[in-house]
Amino acid sequence: MADRKQLRLGAFMRPASIHTAAWRYPGAFADANFNFAHHKQFIRTLERGLFDAYFMADHLAVMNMPDEALKRSATVTSFDPLTLLPALAAVTEHIGLIATASTTYNEPYHVARKFASLDHISGGRAGWNLVTSGNPREAPNFGRAEHVEHAERYRRGREFYDVVTGLWDSWADDAFLRDQDSGVFFDPARMHVLNHSGEFLKVRGPLNIARPIQGWPVIVQAGASDAGRQLAAETAEVVFGSQNNLAGAQWFYADVKGRMPALGRDPDHMKILPGAFVVVGATLAEAQAKKALLDSLVHPASGMATLSVLLGTDASTFDLDGKLPEIPESNASKSARQKLIDKAARENLTVRQLAQYVGGSFGTLEMIGTPGMIADQMQQWLEGAGCDGFNVMFPYLPGGLDDFVDAVVPELQRRGIFRTAYEGATLRENLGLPRPANRFFTES
């Protein structure tokens, strides 16, 4: 039915950041993070499956985990997303290209210029995942002795957004005349100098690249703390959620979208996509066996390392068979830490059990079953106001991706809740998002 709500699908394409054993699974590409030929194969499969976007997460340091876990982690090497995605733009036509860029250890002019370039190179398919860095090991890579405090990161992130979007609006859409007869290349009256001076940033402008095709690349955000939800309500057009049950997702969906009208924003102009770790099998037993095999390949040291990262404190000294001790405040994600603390208390888990839980798919929403079962769950969340779609995580590559595109996508299409062809030429058009007006110029 044409009037049914349509599912939006992104693909999280950092397998080593999804499941610590993804690279070890039989048939998996062990070098999936760092092989361009593999990325070309993955993105072409996703485009065949009519996915909205190819999402590349990023971090600016080797992860902060003990050596015993670090030596088992494929996260130590990966491409810079803003180098990789322009190359992938050249071998695709429709799928969106979303990259993470930190507001904590970048400058806004760099970010604005790179994403504007990606948007032009791709024909209007760029998206910026705005993050405030959570990894304390990033700080010394940028000349800082200590990681920036949580609240300060969010204040800087909000100002950073204002500067980047202001730079994208440096030029009116009709600024570039390129009149060969008169010799006039652009109209100076259609150029704006930003001259921003704020708490953290001082940027003159203008940006030395034309306004992006989409006006602005699509703004993506993933914060789950109160500060993160407020930042999302103020700025985001796509939110990557982390809720792993429908009730929690419904609360998050209502909370974030409920903040938007008071800010002058239409809630329909935001798409909320929880992460979903999907394992497909011809039968439920087959899917469960795949997941069990994958989990069996996680080394205990990796689970404890992941637990330390998510809690923001060294868990290696904890009694493995005891209860989770009191966890001090830290600069780690407050929402991720609290979610684990609450789970441990609610389910009476030992430290060992909690480490095993996060050592696999990091406690994200899991969909394990047949194509019909997975489609049932996705449809329930979509029609139950828990989401607008999902940011799909594949258990291993390429097999897990192939399973989803070849089996789950047709089932979603059969139900009338997923497209059978791309709707437009840009990422915004395919997501059903408006093109933002230029804050400095009216259209002539």
pLDDT per residue as tens digits for the range 114-153:
999 999 999 999 999 998 876 778 888 888 878 788 788 8
Which one-letter DSSP state was computed for residue 63? -
Which one-letter DSSP state was computed for residue 191? B
Q: 212 pLDDT exceeds 60?
A: yes
Cα 92 to Cα 81: distance, rounded to the nearest angstrom: 16
- Domains of the chain with bracketed CATH: 8-279+365-431 (3.20.20.30), 299-359 (no CATH)
Alpha helices in 144-297 (DSSP H): 150-168, 226-235, 246-258, 284-296
Q: 362 pLDDT exceeds 80?
A: no
pLDDT at 443: 77
- Tell me the pairing of strands 184-186 and 176-179: antiparallel
What does the mean pLDDT of the chain come to? 91
Q: What is the CA radius of gyration of the chain?
A: 22
pLDDT per residue as tens digits for the range 225-276:
888 899 899 999 999 999 999 999 999 999 999 999 999 999 999 999 999 9
pLDDT at 25: 93
Cα 81 to Cα 78: distance, rounded to the nearest angstrom: 9
Cα 429 to Cα 318: distance, rounded to the nearest angstrom: 50
CB 32 within 8 A of CB 23: yes
Q: 287 pLDDT exceeds 80?
A: yes
pLDDT at 16: 56
pLDDT per residue as tens digits for the range 297-350:
888 777 787 788 778 888 878 988 899 998 887 666 666 778 788 888 888 988
pTM reported for the whole predicted model: 0.90
Q: Which residue has the higher pLDDT, 404 or 66?
A: 404
pLDDT at 208: 98
38: left (phi over 0), alpha (psi -120 to 50) or beta: alpha
Cα 276 to Cα 373: distance, rounded to the nearest angstrom: 14
108: helix, strand or coil? helix
Percentage of the residues of the chain whose pLDDT score is greater than 90: 68
pLDDT per residue as tens digits for the range 82-99:
999 999 999 999 999 999
The DSSP code sequence of 306-357 is HHHHHHTS--TTS-TTSB--PPPP-SS-HHHHHHHHHHHHHHT-BHHHHHHH
pLDDT at 361: 60
pLDDT at 359: 67
pLDDT at 70: 79
pLDDT at 1: 43
Q: 402 pLDDT exceeds 50?
A: yes
HSE (side-chain half, CA atoms, 13 Å) at 114: 22
Pair of tokens at residue 109: 């002019």
Residues 6+ apart with CB under 8 A from 114: 82, 101
Q: 281 pLDDT exceeds 90?
A: yes
